[in-house]
């Protein structure tokens, strides 16, 4: 028997938070490699992104290692004939309280969602060693019943095992996130309802006045975006009411 009416899986980066990688960690790490290799830091970042994408697309690649930024940076540095001493885990702990932030209405939305009939579960593709220090620094950890990362179930969001047995513990499984593939396409394939929060600039002005579920029906999707979100929200301010409405629908 389900323990909850709903389990709400919530993404972190771009959905609830801005992590410290872009503003603090990558600049320091890429510059260290760039100085040794005598190439621009932007080129180092491009190589890191390329290695990350290659790992994501390789079904045979270990899911945990595919998200291991320290290993990715080390591999890129080695290919350039240099080494890297900066450690992403140490840098996350150092910068979490100064270079990470919550998005607008994050705390208010989570507080409004908190209820005995719901389990709020972080579902992030980032490894726990990078994400947990940020959750703690931003005082978000207490809102959540559990934190799911690739290293908890040796999977990514495209793998059903990533979510463990949480979907079976509730009548409704709802995924909330900003990325189409990770937070709409794959969760839809797993049978979840989905609430998509794309960048506001990607939502046409004429859709702003619509309700989230009507907005999802009216959005102009790309030809390859076959899976459709159950709802599209403009900001976290709309999240609590949208979840409440989805809990009342069987479709």
Task: Assess whether pLDDT exceeds 80 at residue 142.
Answer: yes
The residue-averaged pLDDT of 212-219 equals 98
d(CA 193, CA 248): 12
Position 1 scores a pLDDT of 62
For residue 125, give every residue at least 6 positions away whose Cβ sits within 8 Å of its Cβ, in sequence order, or none: 67, 149, 150, 156, 157, 182
Of 119, 226, 225, 216, which Cα lies nearest the Cα of 166? 119
Position 2 scores a pLDDT of 77
Position 162 scores a pLDDT of 97
Task: Assess whether pLDDT exceeds 60 at residue 225.
Answer: yes
Percent of the chain with pLDDT over 90: 96
Position 251 scores a pLDDT of 54
The torsion of the CA quartet 195, 199, 205, 209, rounded to 10 degrees, works out to 30
Average pLDDT, the chain: 96
Task: Assess whether pLDDT exceeds 80 at residue 250.
Answer: no
Task: Assess whether pLDDT exceeds 70 at residue 202.
Answer: yes
Q: What is the pLDDT of residues 159-201, one digit of tens each?
A: 999 999 999 999 999 999 999 999 999 999 999 999 999 999 9
Task: Assess whether pLDDT exceeds 90 at residue 110.
Answer: yes
For residue 231, give every residue at least 6 positions away whose Cβ sits within 8 Å of its Cβ, in sequence order, or none: 194, 195, 196, 212, 213, 215, 216, 242, 245, 246
The torsion of the CA quartet 67, 70, 73, 75, rounded to 10 degrees, works out to -90
d(CA 59, CA 76): 20
CA distances, 206 to each of 9, 114, 198 (Å): 29, 32, 16
Residue 191's Cβ-count burial label (10 Å; 0-12, 13-18, 19+) is exposed
Tokens in use for 211? 């309700």
d(CA 246, CA 251): 9
The reply to whether CATH 3.40.50.1000 applies to domain 4-19+100-246 is yes
Task: Assess whether pLDDT exceeds 90 at residue 89.
Answer: yes
Pairing status of strand 170-177 against strand 17-18:
unpaired
């Amino acid at each position: 028997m389900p323990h909850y009416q709903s389990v709400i899986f919530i993404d972190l980066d771009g959905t609830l938070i801005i992590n410290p990688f872009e503003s603090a960690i990558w600049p320091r790490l890429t510059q260290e490699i760039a100085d040794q290799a005598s190439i621009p830091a932007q080129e180092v970042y491009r190589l890191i992104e390329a290695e990350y994408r290659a790992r994501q697309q390789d079904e045979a690649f270990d899911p945990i290692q595919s998200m291991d930024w320290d290993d990715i940076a080390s591999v890129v540095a080695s290919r350039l004939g240099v080494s890297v001493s900066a450690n992403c885990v140490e840098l996350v702990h150092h910068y979490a309280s100064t270079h990470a932030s919550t998005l607008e209405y994050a705390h208010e939305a989570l507080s409004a969602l908190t209820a005995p009939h719901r389990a709020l579960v972080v579902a992030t593709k980032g490894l726990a060693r990078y994400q947990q220090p940020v959750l703690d620094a931003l005082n978000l950890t207490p809102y959540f019943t559990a934190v799911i990362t690739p290293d908890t179930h040796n999977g990514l969001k495209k793998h059903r095992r990533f979510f463990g047995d949480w979907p079976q513990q509730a009548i409704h499984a709802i995924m909330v996130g900003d990325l189409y593939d990770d937070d709409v396409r794959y969760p839809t394939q797993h049978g979840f309802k989905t609430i998509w929060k794309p960048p506001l600039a990607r939502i046409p002005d004429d859709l702003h006045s619509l309700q989230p579920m009507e907005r999802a029906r009216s959005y102009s999707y790309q030809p390859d975006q076959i899976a459709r979100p159950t709802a599209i929200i403009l900001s976290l301010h709309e999240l609590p009411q949208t979840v409440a409405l989805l809990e009342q629908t069987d479709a």
